[in-house]
Amino acid sequence: MTSTTTTKKIILYGLLVAILFSIAAQPIKFYAGKNVNPGFEDDDNTPLSFEEGLQPPQDGTFTINSLPYNYSKTGGWKSSGSSVHNIVVDGNFAFVADGPNGLKILNITDKSNPTLYGAYQNGSAILYDIYKKDNYLLLAYGTNGLIILDTSLSLITPQYVASVTSEFNGHECLALDVQDNWTYVAAGEFGFAVIKTADMTHPQYTGRYYRIGVDIRDIDVYINFAYIADANYGLRRVDIASNKVNPTESGNGYPSGSALSVYIRHDYYALIADYTAFYVVSMYSYPTFTKVGEYADGNHPLGVFGAWETAFVTYSDGVGMRMFNITEKDEGVYAKFVARYNSTGEGFGVYVQDDYAYVCDGTTGLDIVGLDQDSDDLYDNYELEDTFTMVDNPDTDNDTLTDGAEFYGLYAPSNPYTDHKGYFHGLDPLDNDTDDDLIHDDEEVYLGVDGYYTNPLNNDSDGDGISDYDELNVYLTNPTIGDSDGDGLSDGDEINIYGTNPNLKDTDSDGMPDGYEILHNLNATYDDSHEDFDNDGIINIDEWNVTFTKPEVNDTDIDDLLDGEEFYGVYAPTHPYANGTGYITGLDPLVADTDRDGLDDGEEVNLYSTNPLDQDSDNDLLVDYEEVITYNTDPNDPDTDNDSLGDYWEATEGTNPLVNDTYLDYDNDGLTNLQEMNLGTKPKVADTDGDSMDDGWEVSNGLDPLDASDAELDNDSDGLTNADEFAANTNPNLADTDSDGMDDKWEVDNGTDPLVDDADADPDEDTLTNIEEMTVGTDPLDSDTDRDTLLDGVEVHTYGTNPLDPDTDHDGVRDDVEILKGTDPLDPNSNPQQRNRLIYTSIGSSVAGGILVLVAVFFAVYWLRQPEQKMFRYLAHLRSKGVKKVTLKEVAVYLDKRLTRGDIKKLINQFGEAKGYKLEDNKILLEEPQKK
C-alpha cells in the first residue's frame, strides 16, 4: 500500500466522521429531574401522560450525531466464583445477588474501589434477585424460596427473619417485586406467588398466578397489575387487584417470543429484554399492546433497566451493556442505539442510580460505570455528542442552573410561569439568557434582587409589549402584571400609544382613571373632569363616579331622554305626572325603562303621557305596555269605555274594553256583564263553577254561582237536588213548586207536571186523580198499577181492593178472578177453589170434566185478554203488514199504558228472541223468527 493511498483514506475517513457529527436527527422530548423529573423516575404516584405512543409531553432536543459512545469502567468488584445476577443500591451500600455465593454487601463510597462489608449465604442455592424495603431485605433465593433478612442490627451479618419455601414445590425463585404489603415472586414454570408481607416476620403465602406452559423469569409490579417476562411467550399483564388468591390475565400482552427481563414505568410502556431482541412496547392500545421500538442484531439481551429516557440493556456472550434513547426514532421506531459499555462476560442485569450504572455480570462480577462526570443529569454521551455541553461542568452557561435541568426540564414550582407540574421546558443549557431579555435565566426562574418571578422563556412575561428588562430597569413597571397601575391600560399601550404614565392610574390627576378616559374618548393627559363632552347636562367626572353614565354618549340607555334629564329631572310642565315645579324626577339614566313596564321612559314622557315611574299609571291592574300595545286601552283611564266595567276585568274576561257592553249577556246565563263582574262570575261562561246550573238561575234562586258543592244540596228537602231542580226547572226553595199538593220529586219521578197544578187531573183515566194516586201510591200514568186487569179507581172506589196488590186477600186468587167468579176478593175464605169443591161434592165426579172444560175456556179467554199477550199479538200484526220497527212509546200507547216501557223491555229481552224481536235503543226491531 502506497503512502498516497493511505493519505487519501485518512482524509476520507476524516470527512466521514465530520459528516456524521454534522447530521441533525429528529427532535425528541424529555421529562427529567432531581430538580428535574426523569422519565423513568421511580414514582408510582406521578404517572406520565403521553399524548400518543411513547412520547412524553416535555421538550428537549437531542441530535444523535455519532456512532454509539463508548463508556469505560469506573470500578468493580468480584469474588471467587462470582456470578452477579442483580443489585440494589441504598446510599453508600450495594446489596449484590451473587448467585451461588449468596448475598454480598459492598461499601461503594469509593465507586472506583468497592469493598466487601457484609454477607449472607444459605447453602448452594442461587440468589437471583433482591428487594430492599426499609431495614428488610427480601431475597429471591432459588430453591430456598423467598428469604427475608433484617439489617437493622447489622449490615455485616444480616439476621434471618422468615422464609416461604415449600409452597414453591422445588421451583427456583428467580425475581421479585414488592408493593405496599404484598410481595410477588416469579418462579419460572411455577408461575408467580402472591405473599402477604405486612408482617415481615410472618409472611403469608396467599395465592399464585399460573397457566400451562408459562415460564416467568422476571416481574415488575405497577399499581393494579403485575407485568411478567414469560420465556415461552413474551410480556403478560396480570390483574393483582381483583383477586390475590387466583390472579388472572388482563389484556393480550405482547408476544415477543422469549422475554427474560421487563421494566415498567407509569403503565404506559414496557422495556423488554427478549432473548432475540430489545423491545419497546406501548400499552396505550389495550387490550393488545403495540411494539413501537425494536433493536435486534443477532445478540441476546438478558437484562433491562430504564432511566432518563434511556434504556440500559445487558447482553450475553461478552457484548456488555448498551444504551438506547427510546424517545429518538431510528428508522421509524423508538430505539436509538446511542452508547455502550463493553464487557466480556454474561450481562445478567443492570441497575442505574444517580450518575452510575451497576452492570451485573455472570463471570466478571460487578462493574460500576460512570455515566455523568459532572452530575448535571445529562449523561456524558449526550453532552459530548448531542447537547454540546461540558461533561466536566454541570453549568455550562454559568447561570447557576444545571445543564440537565435546563435541557430536560427545570423544577421551579414557586414560579407562576411553569407548566401545571411546576416545570420549565426548553431552557438552553448553552445560553444563560434563553429568551434574550438581558436577564439571566436563573434570575428569572427564582426570586432575585428585583423581587419578581419572570418567565425565562419569554422576554415579555406579562405580554404587555414591554420587555422584562425594560420594565425592571427603564420604566420601573411590574414585569409580571400587564397593567402595573391597574388603570385598565396595558403598560405597553400607555407607553407606546397613549403617552400616559404606566405607574399612575390617573396620569392627569383629574379624578378619572386613564383607562376610563381612553375608553370613553376623553383626554387622559389633561384635566377635563368638569367638561361635558357629550352635552348631556352632566360633567365628565360626575358621569364617572356619580351617574356612571357614558361621558361620550348623551343618552346612555337610548330611551330618547338625555342622561342629565333623567338624572336631574325632565321638564314637562303639561305632563300629568310632573311634580309641582313641572319636572319628572327619579328616572334612571342607565335603564331605558325605569319602571320596567315595557315602555321606554322617553315613550312614557313624550308619547303616551304615562307615569315612567309606575308600571300601572291608572292603577287598573293592567301595566301601561299592555294597555298601549296589547289592548289599545287608555293607560291613564281605568275604564276606557266608561261602561262601569274596568279595563282589567274586561281584558281578562274577554268582554270588549272599548265598547259599552255593560248590559249584554254574552253567555246567555241570565246575568248582564255588570252583574257578572259584581258577582265574580265569568261573563262568557254560563256556569262559572261548573256545577251544571247556570249562573243566572243560581243567583235568582239564592244559590252561590261560585260554589259547585251546592249542586248536590236539597234546599227545600223535596228529594230533588238543586241540580235536579235546575234540570226540571222547579224551584229549589219550594218542595211543591206548583202548590198542587204534590211534591216536586213525586211529580218528576211519576211523570206529572211539577210546574202546573194537575192535582185533579187523571191522565191514565183510571178514575183516580193525580193527588189520589199520590195518596194511594199508585202510578198516575198507569191505569192498572198491580196488573190485575182492574182499574186502580175501580179497586179503590168500587171493590175496596188494593190497587197495589193483585191478590188483596192473599188467597192465591187474583182480585179480578174472584170478582168474575163472584167470590169476595177481600175474604181469603171466599174464592173459586172453595166453591168448586162444593160443586164437585154435590154433583159428583161425573160433572167434573165439564167444569174443567169451562175453567180451561175461561182461562184461555182471560190469557188472551192479558196485556202481555195483547202486545205480542200487536207486534205480530205489525210484522204481517210489513212494518220493520216500532217505538216503545207506540206500543205502550196501544196497550193503554197497561205496560210501562220498562215492562215492555223486560218482555222483549225475555221472550223476544224466540219470536224474532230485538231491542235497539227505544225501538223494537220486527224481524222474522229464525228457522231451526
pLDDT > 90? residue 273? yes
- All three cell numbers of 907, joined, read 218482555
Q: What is the pLDDT of residues 138-157, one digit of tens each?
A: 999 999 999 999 999 999 99
pLDDT > 90? residue 29? no
Burial 282-312 (b: 16+ CB within 10 A, else e): bbeeeeebebbbbbeeebbbbbbbbbbbbbb
The strand ranges marked E within 422-503 are 423-424
Query: What share of the chain in percent tops pLDDT 70?
Result: 88
Q: What is the pLDDT of residues 57-92, one digit of tens each?
A: 344 444 444 578 999 999 999 988 889 999 999 999
pLDDT > 60? residue 379? yes
pLDDT value of position 329: 57
287: cis peptide before it, omega within 30°?
yes
Please indicate whether residue 263 or residue 857 has the higher confidence score (pLDDT).
263
* Distant-in-sequence, close-in-space partners of 191: CB < 8 Å, separation ≥ 6: 208, 209, 210, 211, 214, 216
Q: What is the pLDDT of residues 94-117, one digit of tens each?
A: 999 999 999 999 999 999 999 999
Calculate mean pLDDT across residues 359-377.
Answer: 95
Any idea which of 211-215, 414-418, 840-844, 871-875 has the lowest mean pLDDT? 840-844
* Distant-in-sequence, close-in-space partners of 473: CB < 8 Å, separation ≥ 6: none
pLDDT > 50? residue 244? yes
The residues spanned by each domain of the chain are 123-357, 866-932
pLDDT value of position 671: 97
The residue type found at 319 is: V
Calculate mean pLDDT across residues 351-369.
Answer: 95
Any idea which of 40-44, 148-152, 275-279 has the lowest mean pLDDT? 40-44
Residue 126 DSSP code: P
pLDDT > 90? residue 50? no
Q: Average pLDDT over the chain, rounded to whole?
A: 88
Looking at CATH, the fold of the domain delimited by 123-357 is given as Methylamine Dehydrogenase; Chain H (2.130.10)
The residue type found at 54 is: L
Please report, for residues 126, 148, 209, the alpha-carbon distance to residue 194 in angstroms, rounded to integers and kept in the order given.
21, 15, 8
- Rounded Cα–Cα distance for residues 899 and 880 (Å): 23
Q: What is the pLDDT of residues 440-451, one digit of tens each?
A: 999 999 987 688
pLDDT value of position 41: 36
Residue 288 DSSP code: B
Residue 902 buriedness (CB in 10 A; 0-12 / 13-18 / 19+): exposed
- Rounded Cα–Cα distance for residues 749 and 243 (Å): 85
Q: What is the pLDDT of residues 631-655, one digit of tens each?
A: 999 999 999 999 999 999 999 999 9
pLDDT value of position 218: 98
Please report, for residues 54, 285, 560, 570, 571, the alpha-carbon distance to residue 553 in angstroms, rounded to integers and kept in the order given.
60, 62, 12, 18, 20
Do the beta carbons of residue 36 and residue 404 sit within 8 Å? yes
Calculate mean pLDDT across residues 460-473.
Answer: 96
pTM given for the model:
0.59
pLDDT value of position 17: 36
Residue entry with cell 434574550: 436
- Rounded Cα–Cα distance for residues 592 and 603 (Å): 10
Write out the CATH class of domain 866-932.
Answer: mainly alpha
pLDDT > 60? residue 32? no
Query: Phi/psi at 222 (nearest 5 deg)?
Result: -140, 115
- Rounded Cα–Cα distance for residues 207 and 194 (Å): 5
Please report, for residues 179, 671, 679, 743, the alpha-carbon distance to residue 708 in angstroms, rounded to integers and kept in the order given.
79, 18, 15, 25
Burial 367-380 (b: 16+ CB within 10 A, else e): bbbbbbbbebbbbb
Calculate mean pLDDT across residues 380-398.
Answer: 94
The torsion of the CA quartet 920, 922, 925, 931, rounded to 10 degrees, works out to 60
- Rounded Cα–Cα distance for residues 916 and 72 (Å): 124
Any idea which of 286-295, 415-424, 778-787, 890-899 has the lowest mean pLDDT? 890-899
- CA proximity to 571, closest of 559, 582, 555, 586: 582
